[in-house]
């Protein structure tokens, strides 16, 4: 077996510095209470070794408890290579001033520190106007490094985990509003280089004046490039590192795209010994949080496997077992195509699973359902020593197991989930764990005239309503599930119902006396008298079918399932609007809307009219309002009376004419220099 090991493997300089610092501090300060702010690195072996030295990990909210545990003794808190947020740094500075026994050791990676500097300096000019600039961070929004970077920006920020998210955002209105603003782009140090480059192209195309900083660590870049080259040559790849490590996960993704047999392992115990074959080329790479000692142990394990390969062929022959039709076997998937799967079943024959022996779902993609290395259980339906193949059926094993699940669901009234794979005249077929179950048309939940093909390919929740044990046939219902969900929803709705509660509902239908509104599965009614403050002959004068309206509960009867709703509010009451805006002695511009022998009615605001008595229309006697006024005419009036109890308003044109005459007389007197007294 040939082993290809990546030279750029294991601890990066930043992580090594942090681990070495923690170990050195335990030697130099044996009596001190030492802790790290979060786990120092994503590697359980290293974390365990530090714990044996007394180094514990604390969360931000655990610092007070740490100081209490120190009880005046020297206390050292280590900031890991990921760094921390600006607010946390400021909190630690304040704690150091108030607790002389506390010492903070900053092990933030220099590459991360550089991004902090870029974010702070580039966004500082926009601290007083954060909306005038945008910081774009390409990285995992939940990663501590990204949270620390985000805290350094003084402007608005957006965080994207992959290039697809960047591309989707670039087409939004949110992205376009920054077209004339300052845009600053940085990335998490451990991001996948190829993804980062793609995202930069999208940003550069949208913002021609964007400042794009290449902040992926060059150690990470070299590691990813070398890993990609090895994975293209290897038959099997081992990626060593902690499952929580971001950079190790990206190495796994790079390898998996180029080598089907790629495994993510944390140490030698995870090496997949059963997959090693003579003359195989195996590759090794490791994340930045993986110590060299673990890499060497993995290599040692692989060397032991290599020694065993000398007798592998002989042992393999001895291990071959006889296979008979009807035997249930377990095997390892060795290759996958669109129509069949090859399985190593530990026999001299190769197991073959055809598409129809895997699933009854015609739309299934078996290439996505399985991966090389997966273990499958199947039954041998035909064995040919001459051809060297055994025809297997996974479906038969699955159906047997699935039938037991269906029977249990029927007895327990459980809900099952499946995919609709076929439509017939009298119903549809749902595939539940590989088992075909019939749903009658009346139980699909669709209206009688609906086309059953609407359900084709959809995933549905069903309840088993009948089974035939002898024929292994089952009947299911979507309608029963929907009915139960509807009852549960209605029960919750009525349990929370109270007078005054507000809803955003949809107008569903009309009756001459009101409009029915869907409140979310339950209907309420707005009486015509509650639709508007004025007289309403039919609900359609105020609202339309399908309108979304805001309503409130005036009264309800839970037993009768009736809800009376209100739509008009004080805020829309014309009289309140009028009294809030006008008072006696105010002047208003009004429109003449009607004339009677005793006076003219004028609209002050929509919904509120006032009377101009015939005696108040002119400063001379008139016999009919029409001598001076006409319908639709706009005139200025003075409000001379407001009857709040009866909601009546008295208006006067004459009062304004008198005021104008008095003002004119005063002006003449003043010009003539005549003493008014």
Catalytic residue positions? 145
Provide the token pair at 153.
């920006």
> How many CB atoms are closer than 10 A to CB 200?
20
Cα separation of 536 and 512, whole Å?
A: 10
Could you tell me which of 267, 274, 276, 277 has the C-alpha nearest to residue 299?
267
In this structure, which long-range contacts are made by residues 87-90, counting pairs with CB atoms below 8 Å and at least 24 apart in sequence?
87/151, 88/37, 88/60
Residues in contact with 323: Cβ distance below 8 Å, sequence separation at least 6, in sequence order: 329, 345, 347, 349, 380, 383, 390
Give the contacts of 52 (CB within 8 A, at least 6 positions apart). Answer: none
Residue 450 gets which letter from DSSP? Answer: S
Question: Measured on CA atoms in the order 450, 456, 460, 466, is the torsion positive or negative?
Answer: positive
d(CA 335, CA 333): 6
How far, in Å, CA of 129 to CA of 150, rounded? 17
Phi, psi of 586 (to 5 degrees): -75, 150
Q: How far is CA 557 from CA 492, 495, 526, 564, 590, in A?
A: 15, 12, 15, 9, 45
As a whole number of angstroms, the distance between CA 83 and CA 92 comes to 13
CA distance 405 to 354: 25
């Amino acid at each position: 077996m040939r082993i290809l090991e990546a030279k750029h493997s294991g601890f990066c300089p930043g992580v090594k510095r942090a681990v070495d610092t923690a170990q050195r501090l335990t030697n130099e300060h044996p009596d001190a209470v030492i802790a790290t702010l979060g786990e120092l690195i994503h590697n359980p072996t290293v974390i365990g070794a530090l714990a044996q030295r007394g180094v514990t990990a604390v969360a931000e909210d655990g610092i007070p408890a740490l100081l209490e545990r120190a009880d005046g003794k020297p206390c050292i808190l280590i900031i890991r290579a990921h760094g921390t947020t600006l607010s946390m740094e400021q909190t630690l500075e304040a704690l150091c001033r108030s607790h002389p026994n506390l010492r903070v050791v900053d092990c933030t990676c220099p590459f991360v520190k550089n991004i902090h500097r870029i974010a702070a300096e580039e966004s500082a000019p926009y601290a007083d106007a954060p909306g005038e600039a945008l910081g774009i961070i390409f990285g995992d929004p939940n990663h501590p490094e990204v949270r620390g970077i985000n805290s350094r920006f003084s402007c608005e920020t957006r965080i994207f985990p992959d290039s697809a998210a960047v591309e989707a955002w670039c087409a939004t209105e949110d992205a376009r509003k920054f077209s004339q603003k300052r845009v600053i782009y940085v990335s998490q140090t451990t991001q996948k280089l190829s993804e980062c480059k793609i995202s930069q192209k999208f940003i550069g195309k949208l913002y021609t004046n964007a400042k794009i900083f290449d902040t992926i660590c060059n150690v990470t870049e070299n590691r990813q490039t070398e890993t990609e080259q090895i994975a293209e040559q290897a038959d099997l790849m081992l990626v060593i590192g902690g499952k929580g490590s971001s950079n190790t996960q990206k190495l796994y993704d790079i390898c998996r795209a180029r080598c089907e047999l790629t495994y993510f392992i944390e140490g030698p115990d995870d090496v997949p010994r059963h997959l090693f074959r003579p003359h195989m080329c195996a590759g090794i790479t490791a994340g930045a949080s993986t110590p060299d000692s673990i890499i060497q142990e993995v290599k040692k394990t692989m060397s032991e496997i290599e020694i065993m390969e000398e007798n592998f062929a002989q042992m393999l022959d001895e291990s071959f077992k006889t296979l008979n039709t009807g035997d249930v076997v377990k095997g390892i998937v060795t290759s996958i195509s669109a129509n069949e799967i090859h399985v190593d079943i530990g026999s001299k024959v190769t197991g073959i699973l055809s598409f129809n022996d895997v699933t009854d779902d015609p739309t299934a993609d078996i290439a996505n359902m399985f991966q090389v290395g997966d273990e499958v259980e199947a039954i041998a339906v035909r064995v040919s020593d001459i051809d060297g193949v055994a025809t297997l059926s996974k479906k038969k094993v699955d159906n047997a197991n699935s039938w037991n699940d269906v029977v249990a669901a029927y007895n327990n009234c459980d809900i099952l989930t499946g995919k609709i794979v076929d439509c017939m005249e009298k119903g549809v077929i749902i595939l539940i764990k590989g088992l075909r179950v019939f749903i009658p048309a009346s139980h699909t939940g669709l209206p009688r005239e609906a086309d059953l093909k609407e359900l084709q390919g959809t995933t549905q929740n069903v309840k088993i309503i009948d089974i035939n044990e002898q024929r292994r046939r089952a009947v299911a219902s979507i309608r029963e599930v929907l009915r139960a969900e509807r009852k549960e929803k209605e029960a919750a709705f009525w349990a929370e119902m109270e007078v005054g509660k507000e809803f955003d509902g949809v107008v569903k239908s009309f009756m001459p006396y009101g409009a029915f509104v869907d409140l979310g599965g339950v209907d309420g009614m707005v009486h015509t008298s509650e639709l508007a403050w004025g007289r309403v002959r039919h609900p359609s004068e105020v609202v339309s079918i399908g309108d979304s309206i805001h309503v409130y509960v005036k009264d309800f009867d839970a037993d009768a399932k009736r809800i009376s709703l209100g739509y008009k509010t004080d805020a829309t009451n014309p009289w309140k609007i009028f009294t809030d805006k006008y008072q006696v002695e105010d002047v208003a511009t009004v429109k003449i809307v009607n004339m009677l022998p005793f006076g003219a009615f004028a609209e002050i605001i929509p919904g509120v009219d006032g009377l101009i008595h015939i005696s108040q229309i002119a400063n001379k006697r008139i016999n009919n309002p029409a001598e001076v006024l006409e319908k639709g005419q706009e005139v200025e009036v003075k409000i001379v009376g407001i009857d709040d109890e009866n909601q009546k308003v008295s208006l006067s044109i004459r009062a304004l004419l008198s005021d104008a005459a008095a003002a004119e007389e005063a002006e003449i007197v003043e010009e003539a220099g005549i003493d008014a007294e």
